Structure 1
Amino acid sequence: MWRDHLATKLFATEQKQPSDPFKTGISHGFFACRTCKGCKTSKVNERNVTNFKSNITDAEFAIKDIITCNSNNVIYLLQCPCNLQYIGRTNRHLKTRIGEHMNNIRKGLMTHSVSAHFKFHHNSDPSLLKFIGIVLKKTHWRGGDIVNAISREETQWIHKLKILTPQGLNIDIDLKCFLND
């Protein structure tokens, strides 16, 4: 009897990754944790988001991965109250990068397009910033340059959503990531 139990444990089929971090019945999308600085500061974030759209083209896109505030290697979308959008990337936890955006906005820093926009148009109020993770880049099992892969993905989304200034808050794109060494 204990042999059968042991055999099932040893030879169990591959277990799936948890597909629903907050038990919502949804197996893909961005799941806001509601506990990090970004979630606590932003009053407009939904608990879970499964798709997003370009405010320029009205094209809608599904979020195909499971992304949380603790995810790293993420392409994210920021949006201000006047519906301008910004695409960014981070290889750190998403909550860390969003926290930096929030601090920059609060301080009214002019060194970044998002915080500068919020200073001039939204009284440096970080609670008006909406954010979601849209793509989770996974490292290839053979390795590779994940930073370059994230840069490529970011550039493609900036182009796809058409959010370079003046239509959006991105002021440039990284084309170096498409060149071979």
Structure 2
Amino acid sequence: MTLPNNQVPDINRPSRASQTQRKSSIIKGDSITHPLKGYKIPIKAYYTCNTDFVIYALKCPCGKMYIGQTSRQIKIRIREHKYSISNYDPENKKTHTPVGKHFYLHKHNSATLRWLVLEKVQLPQRGGDRKRLLLQTEARWIDRMNTVEPRGMNEAMSYKCFL
């Protein structure tokens, strides 16, 4: 393939098909339903695929949920989760992630993954450690949504970020 002006193709840029697939996997709405108790929790703002420093929820077809955090754009982290689902190998420990393992064991695939941003962690007005605040907020959401195994896909919840 020859590109004008000796340009190199951008293999890291997602195709239109993957952009459409990512958008169709978003859980739309202004609330999320608690996976065990059934009540609605409001989502307080609108977020895009380019939003960073977020707490997010992943949902599988069987209703289990995973709560995660990322300081990068959410679209990058979702792409990584889909890759871990598609490439999970029970013989190769390097491919083991809680989400990949769950989807493999329950015979789901990456096309059935649904997700949404729960909250964006803002830079504190007086400064401080935004990454630590991100970890603390993630721990609160894991506790609130009760997503530690066996009820959810999170392997564990750490309180170290509060010390």
Deviations 1:8-62, CA, capped at 9 Å, x for gaps? xxxxxxxxxxxxxxxxxxxxxxxxxxx684652574435x421101111213111
Which residue does the alignment assign to 1:16?
A: none
- Structure 2 residue aligned with 1:4: none
TM-score, normalised relative to structure 1 = 0.73
Residue of structure 2 equivalent to 1:153: 137
Do the aligned residues in 2 keep the contact of 1:38 with 1:98 (CA within 8 Å)?
no
Structure 2 CA distance for aligned equivalents of residues 36 and 63 of structure 1: 28
Question: C-alpha separation between the residues in 2 aligned to 1:143 and 1:36?
Answer: 40
- The answer to whether the Cα contact below 8 Å between 1:78 and 1:131 also exists between their aligned partners in 2 is yes
Pair 1:172-2:156 in alignment: yes
Q: CA 1:116–1:150 in structure 2 vs 1: closer, same or farther (change >3 Å)?
A: same
Q: What aligned pairs does 1:101-140 form with structure 2 within 5 A after superposition?
A: 101-109=81-89, 110-123=95-108, 125-140=109-124
Which of the numbers 5, 22, 26 marks the counterpart of 1:45? Answer: 26
Q: Which runs of 4+ in 1 moved over 6 A?
A: none
SS in 1 for 2:69: strand
> Match for 1:80 among 43, 54, 60?
60
Instruction: Indicate conservation of the 8 Å contact 1:113/1:170, yes or no.
Output: yes
Identity %: 29
Amino acid aligned to 1:128? T
**Residue matched to 1:98:** 78
Q: Extract unaligned runs of 5+ from structure 2.
A: 1-15, 90-94
Between the aligned partners of 1:137 and 1:36, the Cα distance in structure 2 is 30
The CA RMSD measured in Å over matched residues stands at 1.9
Taking structure 2 as the reference length, what is the TM-score of the superposition? 0.80
Letter in 2 for 1:145: D
Number of aligned pairs?
143
Select the structure of larger CA radius of gyration: 1
Give the partner amino acid of 1:40: Q
